[in-house]
């Protein structure tokens, strides 16, 4: 265990300064994003025993290469610093070709990936669909009967998967008086949690004056509900299902973790923590059409639908066209519509898993950006990934 003096020397503050009220703020997030289980109750996602991770591969001269980002030139090292990067892993044709870690993160650390958790949860849904245990076109109430009377009472699982639920909810990350703050308390992420469970919160939500399926609306409660749906469809707890369906067949080298609420419901929308190389392995599995060395994880048809399907008109009616002007969103993965055919999972504070099928490159990036949402920096990150894909 690290001494208090060593801790302060590494992070610049004392552990006792980090609390449930500030753990997502700088400078404390440089530590807490690697230790979410000390802040919020968490369940273990077990990796397969006996697998050992190889030593990191230094990026070497690539760090000094200059790239054009937003009309300005900067080095790879400079961008990693500017974007508050904690860890980076790069794969080419299925092999790791480079890693980078900030002084505050070690290669074996697990880092919270926030909304990339949604992309992993959707993989569980895809696997269950392939087994005939989950019907994406079925009503939500087939799996969660208590959702009747809520916004989800007349929604389908497909609406939930594609964020086209007409949900009266805003992702107001920084407003302590918002419905979002109540949501965070229900997940045990904010002080004052425990009075209401995540499930109870979800089935209290109501619908906007618009039908489902029309507009892409990025609303995290949909993905927490998906976590409950996959539990009900499989008969397994989320962490157990993730371990058996994805983590062990993937060949993940390190256990993952997921935060849970007072009932033990997983924060399927944003509470997963994993090692940076294991996150890259998820992207490589997608690039390989749903298979890994451990065998098939999700049907190839599901992967093809994820990276090519989706409703372009619903995306255009949404609010994220600034990121991908002609993009789409399917099964909780973003399609860039760029020439490379790249697709990705994205989490607040700078978490990314980026797959470029044309370059045969996968990049995972973990960060502790000061703002939960930083639109200009998101665009810079995409430009950075494109530059890395062109160089490795």
Q: Which of 115, 336, 340, 367 is catalytic?
A: 115
115 is catalytic: yes
Question: According to the 3-state scheme, what is the secondary structure of the chain?
Answer: CCCHHHHHHHHCCCHHHCCCCCCCCCCCHHHHCCCHHHCCCEEEECCCCCCCCCCCCECHHHHHCEEEECCEEEEHHHHHHHCCEEEEEEEECCEEEEEEECCCCCCCCCEECCCHHHHHHHHHHHHHHHCCCCCCCCEHHHCCHHHCCCHHHHCEHHHHHCCCCCECCCCCCCCCCCHHHHHHHHCCCCCCCCCCCHHHHHCCCCECCCCCCCCCCCCCHHHHHHHHHHHHHHCCCHHHHHHHHHHHHHCCCCCEEEEECCCCCECCCCCEEECHHHHHHHHHHHHCCCEECCEECCCHHHHHHHHHCCCHHHHHCCCCCCCCCCCEEECCEEECCCCCCCEEEEECCCEEEEEECCCCEEEEEEECCCCCCCHHHHHHHHHHHHHHHHHC
Catalytic residues: 115
């Amino acid at each position: 265990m690290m001494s208090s003096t060593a801790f302060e020397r590494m992070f610049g503050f004392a552990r006792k300064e980090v609390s449930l009220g500030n753990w997502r703020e700088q400078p404390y997030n440089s530590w807490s994003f690697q230790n979410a289980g000390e802040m919020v109750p968490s369940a273990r996602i077990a990796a397969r025993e006996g697998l050992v991770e190889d030593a990191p591969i230094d990026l070497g001269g690539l760090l000094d290469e200059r790239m054009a980002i937003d009309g300005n030139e900067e080095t790879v090292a400079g961008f990693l610093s500017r974007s508050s990067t904690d860890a980076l892993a790069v794969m080419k044709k299925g092999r790791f070709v480079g890693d980078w870690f900030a002084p505050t993160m070690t290669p074996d650390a697990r880092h919270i990936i926030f909304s990339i958790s949604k992309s992993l949860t959707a993989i569980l849904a895809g696997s269950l669909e392939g087994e005939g245990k989950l019907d994406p076109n079925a009503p939500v109430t087939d799996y969660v009967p208590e959702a009747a009377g809520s916004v989800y009472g007349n929604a389908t699982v497909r609406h939930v998967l594609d964020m086209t639920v007409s949900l009266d909810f805003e992702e107001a990350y920084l407003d302590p008086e918002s419905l979002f703050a109540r949501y965070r308390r229900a997940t045990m992420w904010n002080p004052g949690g425990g009075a209401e469970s995540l499930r109870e919160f979800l089935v209290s939500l109501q619908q906007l004056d618009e039908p489902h399926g029309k507009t892409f609306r990025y609303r995290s409660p949909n993905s927490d509900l998906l976590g409950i749906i996959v539990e009900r469809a499989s008969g397994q707890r989320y962490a157990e299902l993730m371990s058996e369906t994805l983590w062990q067949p993937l060949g993940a080298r390190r256990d993952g973790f997921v935060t849970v609420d007072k009932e033990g419901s997983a924060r399927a929308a944003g509470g997963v923590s994993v090692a940076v190389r294991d996150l890259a392995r998820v992207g490589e599995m997608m690039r390989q059409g749903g298979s890994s060395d451990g065998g098939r994880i999700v049907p190839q048809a599901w992967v093809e639908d994820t990276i090519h399907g989706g409703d372009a008109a619903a995306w255009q009616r949404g609010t994220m066209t600034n990121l991908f002007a002609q993009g789409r969103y399917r099964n909780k993965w973003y399609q860039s519509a760029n020439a490379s055919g790249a697709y990705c999972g994205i989490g607040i504070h700078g978490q990314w898993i980026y797959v470029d099928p044309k370059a045969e490159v996968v990049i995972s990036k973990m960060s502790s950006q000061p703002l939960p949402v930083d639109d200009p920096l998101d665009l810079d990150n995409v430009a950075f990934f494109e530059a890395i894909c062109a160089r490795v």
